[in-house]
Amino acid sequence: MRVLVTGGAGYIGSVTAALLLSRGHQVVVLDSLATGHSDAVPPGAGFVPADLLDTAALGRVFEAPFDSVLHFAARALVGESVEHPDLYFRTNIGGTLNLLDAMRTHGVGRIVFSSSAATYGEPDEVPIVEDAPTRPTNPYGASKLAADQVLTAYAGAYGVAATSLRYFNVAGAYGRQRERHDPETHLIPNLLTAARGGAAAFTLHGTDYPTPDGTCIRDYVHVEDLAEAHLLALEAAVAGEHRIYNLGSGSGYSVREVLAEVERVTGRPVEVVEGPRRSGDPARLVASSARIERDLGWQRRRTLADMIRDAWAALP
């Protein structure tokens, strides 16, 4: 299969591109490098530095034949989306529309989209199922939900075979391919930086949540397990249908539990400073992955310790 991977110079996109190559597929990465890294593009993949908002460049990319698209390219910082909602709506929705229109023009009918748990907002019940109400609390989540709705409409109107995968928290590394966000907002890489001595202390935001140890509980999936879900979704996509799947563990870990596991795996203490809650942080976000397990046979194979160990080993 010849696959176009948008955002393939980013964290999840580059890992998925590498996994595709290891399974014998042909891969072309399209990335503007606004947040990605050219050296993250896996060896053996073609690379086109282009923006999805540049319709002329996008048209040139599709002059080569593709069988399918994996769509990761997006802005993905919640705080930034609040400050610059125009950037998020234009990039995440407009870029998706441009991509889908290019696919239609060139007869490419299969897409797997990198959606988000942010589409749900603050849930009424956990674990969260795909039929839960979607009430995003920030422009990032709203832009992802809008892109999902576009895919539903295109599947119905134009016969697109579409799948959206809604992630919760992704961690770990795939060889040397690791998280390199600027700024880094994710828990595990920030804890590892503190463990290595690259930060003075780790700030624990909120210790009075209604959870067993008072800290937030979040769901974590290894990036390689996540990449494997994309390959399964790509193979199973059905023309005229838009399927939505959550990816998580069904249980989750508190911040203190992750902290303790980081100290255990690395053998190093992490200095912690307790701070107030961050506005809008729900106490517990956990996904039910029963639907994708049933429909596609996906399994979460790697543990929290595996995520931490792989991410620690990949640090430069």
Q: Give the catalytic positions in this structure.
A: 140
Q: Say how far residue 51 (Cα) sits from the centre of its chain.
A: 19
- 156 within 8 A of 173, measured Cβ to Cβ: no
Can you tell me the distance from the alpha carbon of 221 to that of 289, in angstroms, rounded to the nearest whole number?
11
Can you tell me the distance from the alpha carbon of 123 to that of 111, in angstroms, rounded to the nearest whole number?
27
Instruction: Tell me what percent of the chain is helix, strand and coil, each rounded to the nearest 5.
Output: 40, 20, 40
Taking alpha carbons only, the member of 59, 27, 25 closest to residue 40 is 27
Exposed / middle / buried, residue 199 (Cβ in 10 Å: 0-12, 13-18, 19+): middle
Treating both helix axes as pointing N-terminal to C-terminal, what angle do 223-236 and 11-22 enclose, rounded to 10 degrees?
60
- 126 within 8 A of 213, measured Cβ to Cβ: no
Residue 94 DSSP symbol: I
Taking alpha carbons only, the member of 4, 68, 55, 62 closest to residue 31 is 4
